[in-house]
C-alpha cells in the first residue's frame, strides 16, 4: 500500500532546506521553491523554471501540492461576488469579494463548517468537517486577488477572516496564512489591512496579545447582556462577558490595537435602548469601536431584521455616548453572500 506524499506547502523552509541537503542539492533551492509556491502560486513542480529537471523530478517524487479550485461564482445585484471553492473529498467553502468605493474587501473562510452553532448564522447550522490548512486559507486570498486584478484592474485592498468557521479554533494555520499573505515572498500585503474575527475565545485572545499581532481584531459580540448572549451564542456559556472584557483589556494593554465589536441587530432581541446601554457600558471598558450589522435571513432562521426606527434609535444612543459606530449595510443578500449566510447552499 502506497503512502500518501506530504503536501510541500505544509513543510517549513528549514525542513525543505534539510531535504535538499540530504539529496546533495544546495539548500538555497528551498527559498526558490517557497517563492514559486507562494509569490507565484505554482501548483505544478514542472512550472518552477529556475529549478533543474532533476530537482523538479525529485520534488515530484517526494511531495504533492494541494490547492483550492474555484468551482463557480455568483454575482449579486449590488456587485458582491461569491465564490465556491473545492477543498477535497467533496468538501467546499465559500469566499466573497465586496466592492466598495475605495476598497475591495475579500471575506475568507478558516474552517469547513463550524462547531459553534450561533443561532443567527447559517454556517453555525453545519457540522465542523475540518480546519483549513494555511495553504488553503492563503489560496482563497491569492485567487480572489487574481480575480480582482483581472476584473477590477486593482488588487484586493482588505481581508477579513469572517467567512465560514471560527478563526481562533484554527489559530495556528490562520497565523501562518497571515505570515504568508504579508510576506514579501507571498502577497506582500500590510497586516493593517487584515482583520481576524472571533466569537471571543478568551485564552486565545491573550495568547495572540503575547505575540504582538500584525493584524486587527474583531469580536462577534451581538449582545452585552450575558443572558441574551448565551441564548444566541453558545460560546458565552464558557467565555462570558466578564472573561471577555478581561481578555480584551489584556490584549489592548499589550498591543494598543482597538478591537471592533460586531453586533448583528436582531429585531426585538438585542436592539432595545436597554441593549444599547449595556453595549455602551461594555465599550467603555476598553477603547473600541462598533460595527452594527443588518441581520440577513437564513434558512429556518429564528429572527427578523431590526426596524429602521429601532436601528436609528440604537445608533443615536451610541453616538450620544461617544461610541464610534458604523452601520454595515447588507451586501450580497440575494445570492446568500451576506454576513451570516455562507453555508454552501448551492454546489
Q: Answer yes or no: do 55 and 100 share one domain.
A: no
Q: Answer yes or no: do 138 and 252 share one domain.
A: yes
Q: What is the mean pLDDT of residues 254-279?
A: 97
| Number of domains forming the structure of the chain | 2
Q: Answer yes or no: do 34 and 151 share one domain.
A: no
Res 331 pLDDT > 60: yes
121 is catalytic: no
Q: Answer yes or no: do 147 and 18 share one domain.
A: no
Residue 44 lies in a domain: yes
The CATH number of whichever domain residue 289 belongs to comes to 3.20.20.70
pTM: 0.92
Q: Which residue has the cell 497565523?
A: 175
Q: Answer yes or no: do 232 and 330 share one domain.
A: yes
pLDDT tens figures, 83-98: 999 998 888 999 999 9
Residue 25 lies in a domain: yes
The CB density around residue 148, as the number of other CB atoms within 10 Å, is 19
pLDDT tens figures, 6-24: 999 999 999 999 999 999 9
Active-site residue (options: 14, 61, 94, 166): 94
Query: Pairing relation of β-strands 69-75 and 130-131?
Result: unpaired
pLDDT tens figures, 92-139: 999 999 998 889 999 999 999 888 888 888 777 788 999 999 999 999
Give the range among 29-33, 100-104, 281-285 with minimum mean pLDDT.
100-104
Res 235 pLDDT > 80: yes
340 confidence band (pLDDT: 50, 70, 90): low
Q: Answer yes or no: do 106 and 149 share one domain.
A: yes
Domain C-terminal end among 41, 62, 83? 62
Query: Pairing relation of β-strands 81-86 and 260-265?
Result: unpaired
Give the range among 43-57, 81-95, 178-192, 290-304 with minimum mean pLDDT.
290-304
Res 347 pLDDT > 50: no
The CATH number of whichever domain residue 36 belongs to comes to 1.10.150.530
Please give the Cα distance from 329 to 325 (Å, whole number): 13
Q: Which residue has the cell 505544509?
A: 10
**What local confidence, expressed as pLDDT, does residue 346 receive?**
43
337 confidence band (pLDDT: 50, 70, 90): low
Residue 275's φ and ψ, nearest 5 degrees, are -65, -40
Residue 3 lies in a domain: no
Mean pLDDT of the chain: 92
**What local confidence, expressed as pLDDT, does residue 344 receive?**
58
- For residue 15, the enclosing domain spans 8-62
Q: Answer yes or no: do 141 and 47 share one domain.
A: no
CA angle at residue 143 from 134 to 66, to 5 degrees? 45
Residue 341 lies in a domain: no
Q: Answer yes or no: do 165 and 284 share one domain.
A: yes
Residue 26 lies in a domain: yes
Q: Answer yes or no: do 52 and 201 share one domain.
A: no
Residue 304 lies in a domain: yes
Q: Answer yes or no: do 228 and 294 share one domain.
A: yes
Q: Answer yes or no: do 25 and 88 share one domain.
A: no
Q: Answer yes or no: do 25 and 95 share one domain.
A: no
Active-site residue (options: 118, 121, 283, 339): 339
339 is catalytic: yes
**What local confidence, expressed as pLDDT, does residue 343 receive?**
63
| 3-state secondary structure at position 169 | helix
Residue 79 lies in a domain: yes
Amino acid at each position: 500500500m502506497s503512502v500518501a506524499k506530504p503536501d510541500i506547502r505544509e513543510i517549513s523552509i528549514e525542513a525543505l532546506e534539510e531535504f535538499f541537503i540530504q539529496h546533495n542539492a544546495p539548500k538555497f533551492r528551498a527559498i526558490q521553491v517557497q517563492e514559486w509556491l507562494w509569490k507565484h502560486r505554482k501548483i505544478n513542480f514542472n512550472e518552477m523554471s529556475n529549478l533543474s529537471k532533476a530537482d523538479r523530478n525529485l520534488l515530484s517524487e517526494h511531495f504533492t501540492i494541494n490547492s483550492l479550485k474555484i468551482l463557480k461564482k455568483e454575482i449579486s445585484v449590488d456587485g458582491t461576488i461569491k465564490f465556491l471553492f473545492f477543498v477535497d473529498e467533496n468538501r467546499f467553502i465559500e469566499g466573497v469579494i465586496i466592492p466598495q468605493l475605495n476598497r475591495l474587501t475579500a471575506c475568507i473562510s478558516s474552517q469547513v463548517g463550524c462547531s459553534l452553532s450561533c443561532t443567527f448564522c447559517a454556517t453555525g447550522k453545519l457540522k465542523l468537517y475540518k480546519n483549513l490548512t494555511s495553504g488553503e486559507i492563503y489560496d482563497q486570498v491569492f485567487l480572489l486577488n487574481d480575480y480582482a486584478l483581472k476584473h477590477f484592474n486593482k488588487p484586493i485592498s482588505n481581508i477579513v477572516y469572517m467567512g465560514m468557521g471560527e478563526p481562533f479554533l484554527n489559530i495556528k494555520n490562520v497565523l501562518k496564512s497571515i505570515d504568508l499573505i504579508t510576506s514579501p515572498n507571498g502577497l506582500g500585503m500590510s497586516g493593517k489591512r487584515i482583520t481576524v474575527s472571533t466569537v471571543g475565545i478568551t485564552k486565545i485572545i491573550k495568547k495572540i496579545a503575547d505575540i504582538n499581532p500584525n493584524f486587527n481584531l474583531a469580536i462577534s459580540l451581538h449582545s452585552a447582556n450575558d443572558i441574551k448572549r448565551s441564548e444566541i451564542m453558545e460560546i458565552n456559556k464558557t467565555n462570558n462577558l466578564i472573561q471577555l472584557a478581561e481578555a480584551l483589556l489584556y490584549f489592548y494593554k499589550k498591543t494598543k490595537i482597538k478591537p471592533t465589536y460586531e453586533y448583528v441587530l436582531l429585531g426585538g432581541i438585542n436592539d432595545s435602548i436597554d441593549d444599547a446601554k449595556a453595549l455602551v457600558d461594555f465599550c467603555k471598558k476598553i477603547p473600541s469601536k462598533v460595527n452594527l450589522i443588518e441581520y440577513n435571513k437564513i434558512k429556518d432562521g429564528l429572527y427578523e431584521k431590526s426596524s429602521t426606527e429601532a436601528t436609528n434609535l440604537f445608533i443615536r444612543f451610541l453616538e450620544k455616548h461617544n461610541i464610534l459606530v458604523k452601520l454595515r449595510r447588507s451586501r450580497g443578500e440575494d445570492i446568500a453572500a451576506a454576513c451570516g449566510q455562507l453555508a454552501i447552499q448551492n454546489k
